[in-house]
Structure 1
Amino acid sequence: MGKNRLLLDSGLTALAPAIWGSTYLVTTQLLPPDRPLLAATVRALPAGLVLLALGRVLPTGLWWWRALVLGTLNIGAFFFLLFVAAYHLPGGVAALVGSVQPVLVLFFAALLLRDRVTPVHLVACVLSFGGVALLVLKSTAKLDLVGVAAALGGAVCMAAGIVLTKRWKRPVGVLLFTGWQLTAGGLVLLPVLLLVEGLPTTITTTNALGFGYLIVFGSLFGYSIWFRGTDRLPAIAMSFLGFVSPIVATVLGYVFLTQKLTIVQLLGALILIGAIALVQFNAVKQQTTAVGPLPGEPSIKV
């Protein structure tokens, strides 16, 4: 029963990065050009306020600053850096730089969660880096220092956010917890948006559709199932599920942008899928030999 539950949780949680894999397509095709702060703020704040209105509970005590820290790492800073990378880099380069995230998670989890780094984890990290390179990196890809720095910063934020979310454990239901973070992240971004970019003078129907998609699917749905998974899955397993994003991004580029899909890219996708599966099944193996409840089983409200 425990094995099946862990694999089902992995499958459900993987839906979040699958949705996020469409971010590059939506950003470049539907959103206003060169407005990363606007894109990040609109994606976060409305969704967070909706969930807060539904939950009607604010953080208390330590959770005021914890919600701010997690909201900044998982949402505010991460969204901004993600959109900066999307505007400054080809999707392949951004994904390749972001593939250092599992290594960062291994480091943070060992430091803060006392998780054990195994040879399987190291092998999977090497496989994932190679798989991403084959999948998305082209010989014509151009490097942009701002974009590379943003992609690397985003990986650091997400890695730290995953580990701290798991370390602190959510004190409320997953929807309200998601609302806290989306609202905190959006409020961190809002004054920066007003100072740096300002509010837009016009929003087209196409822009509105793009923002609506990111709010409903990318934030409300995506982050709710992602934070649910944080309770139930090991930190390193969560991190490797993020590689579903470049796979989906590549498929969407092939379908909607008439991009070519080569044998090398297919090989990269297969390697990535293998690395993801390796880590998930290793987590199941470790769980069956561990003493104690499944991740997320202690009395945490769902």
Structure 2
Amino acid sequence: MTRTPATQIGFIAVLLWSLLALLTVGTAPVPPFQLTAICFAIGGTIGLIWSAASGGLTRLHRINWRVYAFGTAGLFGYHFLYFSALRLAPAAEAGLIAYLWPLLIVLFSGLLPGEHLHRNHIIGGVISFAGAALIVLKGGAGFQAEAFTGYGLALLCALTWAGYSVLSRRLGDIPTDSVAIFCLLTAALSTLAHLALETTIWPTTTLGWGAIIALGVGPVGLAFYVWDIGVKQGNIQLLGVASYAAPLLSTLVLVGAGIAKPTWALLLAALLITFGAALAARAKAAVSDSPATR
């Protein structure tokens, strides 16, 4: 597969992730570990069915256990942090802070072999983090001291996913079928954590069950398979920048559902984060086109 189709496939994940905040809010009051376990069990099962139908099950036996450990740590860590952040902070604010990961992917990609970090990467990073600060201090519902833990978890969530995505680039020879095992192992760990730390609470409405199933099929299912293809075979910098469509779409979805208010501060924060990522990506293109890198 060439870079352009792989990049386009990867962007499907961005569209699915724009629904993550809304669907997660709709699953309340299910505890985060229980929710993670159910959703990843659905996503992993879908992956195994797809792998079996395409004759990929035999490839799974040849993959090193360290790869499975890496993928499980990335998926389990990211979703635990994300779901927890949404329960401890306002959905729009926590979601936009978590969506610093596209910018971090652009920045971290400079550490890959053959890549270079330009000063505009740093400037773009400062601008985007300024947008995140605006969210925490003035955006949406305003700064809430009791939500500080949620804001911190959202930032850790961004760091986790950016690291997973960039390091996945180094595993380009690992088949996407492996994501099914990442999902199932994440479901198993989440189940253990749920039994040890939480009280089981099932959805009380049909809407709640529908949100869980939708999460498992889309944002916590198909999205990870298409993202794996994109970051391994596509243009990872372009995917990183394009991923900033997700927080904008996510916020619009939350506003449309009546969960978030369409404040000017929230819009300005989204624009700052997006502009910072675009500036970083433009620097990436300038470095790639320079005579020194040819």
1:138 maps to: 140
Counterparts of 1:11-90 in structure 2, within 5 Å, are: 12-28=9-25, 30-33=26-29, 35-56=31-52, 57=57, 59-61=60-62, 63-73=64-74, 75-90=75-90
How far the C-alpha of 1:212 sits from its partner, in A, is 1.3
CA spacing shift, 1:53–1:68, aligned 2, 3 Å: farther
Contact 2:103 2:276 in 1 (8 A): no
How far the C-alpha of 1:177 sits from its partner, in A, is 3.2
Of structures 1 and 2, the one scoring higher in RCO (CA 8 A, sep 6+) is 2
1:158 maps to: 161
Structure 1: state its 5+ residue gaps. 293-302
CA spacing shift, 1:155–1:279, aligned 2, 3 Å: same
CA distance in 2, matches of 1:86, 1:210: 15
1:217 maps to: 218
SS in 2 for 1:140: coil
CA distance in 1, matches of 2:201, 2:30: 12
> 1:203-232 CA distances to partner (integer Å, 9 max, x unpaired)?
531221001111111123222221111023
Q: Which moved more, 1:275-284 or 1:118-127?
A: 275-284
CA spacing shift, 1:188–1:139, aligned 2, 3 Å: closer
Structure 2: state its 5+ residue gaps. none
CA distance in 2, matches of 1:110, 1:277: 15
1:298 maps to: none
Contact 1:99 1:132 in 2 (8 A): no
Q: Which moved more, 1:238-247 or 1:97-106?
A: 97-106
1:124 maps to: 124
CA spacing shift, 1:200–1:134, aligned 2, 3 Å: closer
How far the C-alpha of 1:159 sits from its partner, in A, is 1.9
TM-score for the superposition, normalised by structure 1:
0.78
Q: Percent identity of the aligned residues?
A: 20
> 1:175-199 CA distances to partner (integer Å, 9 max, x unpaired)?
x233132222222222112222254
CA distance in 1, matches of 2:262, 2:202: 39
Letter in 1 for 2:140: K
CA distance in 1, matches of 2:284, 2:151: 31
CA distance in 1, matches of 2:275, 2:116: 21
How far the C-alpha of 1:288 sits from its partner, in A, is 5.9
TM-score for the superposition, normalised by structure 2:
0.79
How far the C-alpha of 1:243 sits from its partner, in A, is 2.8
Contact 2:102 2:277 in 1 (8 A): no
CA distance in 2, matches of 1:97, 1:285: 27
* Structure 2 residue 244 is the aligned partner of structure 1 residue 243: yes
2:115 maps to: 115
Contact 1:135 1:268 in 2 (8 A): yes
Contact 2:42 2:213 in 1 (8 A): no
How far the C-alpha of 1:255 sits from its partner, in A, is 1.2
CA distance in 2, matches of 1:16, 1:84: 21
